[in-house]
Chain A
């Protein structure tokens, strides 16, 4: 290997992550040099970094670039990276208003956001448990801070603290799982783990089950699977609404990428052992997410439980496994990301410092005062509820199709029934917006044009993917085909 290529090809696999990291550093520097009250387009740096990362992902597509033996940029990982980049871009577009309203420190905000994106992107392509852990910590720490960024509010600090304590606890579980795995296999690399498990040298070894269980707990916590979801409503409520939209989607994308890698590939021979666990997790997550969501009157908490329920549907796809299950995870992640970021963005755009617009009653008669935002929120909610012709329907159909195909009809039945329950609370919001009269006309905030355009684009995308899903379905199917 010549001296030139040591840096060249070895870095290929992490170029997208590097782009985002550099953008994050640039944001930090910009903040350091910013005069007080000087307006600086720091968000633009993030957009540049993310776009660069997206281009890099496109260029790496189909090449399976490897870096340092611990990162493998296969199409599956790149697909998830694209989802995360997309979520990051949308979040940045919706951020300026939130920053202004909550008087957030812009530089720190964008830097943390980009570091979180970088961590998640690394997680999506990492093939070594330790690198996965590092990536997990990178984005988790950034998110803890982002959650508590509204320093002047007690609730924000409280939520962030809860998230931090419980998150640290879960990380410890994950790390302990890695330690056990290392003890058994002698390596933390997923390929080694795979071959060791496949060789059946460890069959019947109880420590393997312990390691698996600990890893599962750590991951289940990150994707907010019941019963490891306790932090979710508090953290989602505490964080600035835009950040909530980001957390609820990008974390799931990264988490499920690792879930798929660890569970569906490395531990696939142990399916008999983990399948019941995932089954129970999926059922509990779907039921609790949708049933408890019904009881919520705070919109952010409601959507928090909704995203728990959606994690449950993703777990169904995980339990189904196989190429179809993996592909359906990817498709679902895309649709869910667009929808959920959009829904939270509408909430964020509506809220002002005086009227946070978080209670269900605040949405009474929104249709009359702001038909555009009400219409957009309706589209997002209908997509979350899985109504055709929105993409949410195709996503659910794909997941349950995979479940039925894998002989998991029970999960599919529970899944569709809980989705009916969740429709009830999505419709409650719709009822408030359209079918209740407004008491007093609160002044609506000025809506930034870019944000509105991005939301409209998201809504159009949802209809497009709902009516013409073929391309994305095929892309998802092809991305998982070459996995390992």
Chain B
């Protein structure tokens, strides 16, 4: 146990800051500025704290580290238990990284109720980080469900025209999935009490529980549906375009950047390891859905007239890759999946930031309204260009590493699926570049675009970190892959143990070779 309860500090700090912000009197908005800076300060402190956690993290360990356990509801074996391993480590850092950017990006676009906006953003950050750090299923579910409330308000109050519809759809869709998971969680806790005589919601205790194969099927389905809705996996994705399009920029950034990863994180952390037999049985079906999502999302993205909707559908496609990597359940696939989660957070987050900046200026997100921006706002377009390439997966930028690893892992598992999925890489180039071309190249056809302002200092500060991160993750992937390797190996090894003969799988995890980056991958 760490001397300083750093993980609890990570969970509590944003919420504490949020509650303090509520105490600030803000009649007539005279203190909006102060509130914005305070919220930013809290989120930066949180980011620093997350980096500190990374510094203290031992990359050679597969176990959970910095674990804190306190009895919470002892009669049901419920604990407040948090811990971090190589998989959750970077997701926490990602959430802490994106929140300040999202906050600053909305300094100009959010005029009304700034205090409440900052409150919900910080409360959301607490809940997100709680989801990634929880080692107790009850605690996990509390954070998982609690997170819906701030997001609901963010979309519903500060969103665009159809915000109420989108907010309600978002919360009902997600809840419908997660309540079934709640019943599944209760069932496992009950099975635990039958097997050992006492209730437990401890994740690690559940890993040792031998759940009958037949029961596993139902439990896995309940978990998988909850997570699949969150991801969102085709055909559960219909809430996503609405929520993304109607959410304010900051909401979209967090939604795409972090919230969607909770679905894939849940699949990887809970659904697959807890019910390995069922997971092995259902993995091919999930993979097929993922591949459908990859192609379908890309095709639908191609024909979107609305930039935000285009990015939203591209998320369906990108997250399909992540699920494919997880279902492959070999070292490359899973590492690629985790890496792609981070990539998608950075590059799609940045894309939403840029679309938000354009729509702040012109109050429209329609591609047809733009054109020739290169001549008007060259700096913005330059940033847009890098982010677009990173989203496509150009070698040298972050997207490439993740997609490569996933496709590599998927190919070793099922070449046919990998082949179809690979078409998604091409399609992503088609829709992204096409959109980029229509918005930025050619002559300035719309006179309204002529007077557009280029990036100001604030916006540069929002975009620079994201772009720097995209480049850094592209050229130095080992910085991230190495610490996650032991945890990934552990999950893969567990899946391999409970392997039915049905699915062809590579048993021994082989070290990953990458063309770029001199780093040794600890794939063992």
Enumerate chain A interface residues (CB-CB to B < 8 A).
382, 387-389, 393, 397, 400-401, 404-405, 409, 412-413, 416-417, 419-420, 423-424, 427, 430-431, 434-436, 469-470, 473-474, 477
**Are A387 and B148 closer than 8 Å at their CB atoms?**
yes
Known: A389-B146, A404-B183. 6 other contacts (CB 8 A): A400-B183, A405-B190, A427-B171, A431-B167, A435-B164, A470-B73
* Chain B interface (Cβ < 8 Å from any Cβ of A): 72-76, 138, 141-143, 145-146, 148-149, 152-153, 156-157, 163-164, 167-168, 171-172, 175-176, 179-180, 182-183, 186-187, 189-190, 193
Write the chain A residue with the least CB distance to B71. A470
Tell me the smallest distance from the CB of B137 to a CB of chain A, in Å.
11
Query: Is B153's CB under 8 angstroms from A420's CB?
Result: no
CA distance A403 to B236 in the complex (A): 29
Residues of chain A contacted by B148 (CB below 8 angstroms): 387
**Bound CA span A469–B138, Å:** 13
Residue of A nearest to B187 (CB): A404
* Given A424-B172, A435-B156, also A469-B73 (CB < 8 A): yes
Question: How far is it, in angstroms, between the C-alpha of A435 and the C-alpha of B179 when the chains are bound?
Answer: 26
Query: What secondary structure prevails in chain B residues at the interface with A?
Result: helix
CA distance A431 to B153 in the complex (A): 9
Smallest CB gap from B73: residue in A: A470
- CB < 8 Å neighbour of B179 from A388, A420, A470: A420
Are A388 and B141 in contact (CB-based, < 8 A)?
yes
Contacts of A430 in B (CB 8 A): 156
A397 lies within 8 A of B193 (CB): no
In the bound complex, residues from chain B placing their C-beta under 8 Å from that of A401 are: 76, 186, 189-190
Chain A residues near B182 (CB, 8 Å)? 397, 400, 416
A470 CA / B176 CA spacing, docked (Å): 28
A78 to chain B, nearest CB (A): 21
Give Cα A470–Cα B78 distance, bound, in whole angstroms: 10
Q: Which 5 A-B pairs have the closest CB atoms?
A: A416-B179, A388-B142, A404-B186, A435-B156, A388-B146
Assess the A434–B142 pair: CB atoms within 8 A: no
Are A405 and B172 in contact (CB-based, < 8 A)?
no
B188 to chain A: closest residue by CB: A404
Complexed CA–CA distance, A140 and B217 (Å): 50
Q: How far is the CA of A389 from the CA of B73 in the complex (A)?
A: 14
Asked whether B145 lies within 8 Å of A393 as measured between CB atoms, the reply is: yes
Bound together, the chains give a CA A474 to CA B164 distance in angstroms of 41
Cα–Cα distance between A378 and B374 once the two chains are bound (Å): 47
Which of B142, B148, B179 has its CB near the most chain A CB atoms (within 10 A)? B179
Please name the residue on chain A nearest to B80 by beta carbon. A467
> A420 — which chain B residues lie within 8 A by C-beta?
172, 175-176, 179
How far apart sit A368 and B152, CA to CA, in the bound complex (Å)?
Answer: 18
Q: Which chain A residues border B146 with CB–CB below 8 Å? A: 387-389
Smallest CB separation, B487 vs chain A (Å): 27
The closest CB in chain B to the CB of A423 belongs to B175
Closest to A428 in B: B168
What are the residues of chain B within 8 A of A405 when measuring CB–CB?
186, 190, 193
Would B171 and A423 count as touching, CB distance under 8 A? yes
Q: Are B190 and A389 in contact (CB under 8 A)?
A: no
Q: Report the bound CA distance from A397 to B72 in whole Å.
A: 15
Chain A residues near B157: list those with CB within 8 A: 434-435
Q: Are B75 and A477 in contact (CB under 8 A)?
A: yes
Q: How far is the CA of A427 from the CA of B164 in the complex (A)?
A: 10
Given contacts A404-B190, A473-B73, contact A416 B183 (CB under 8 A): yes
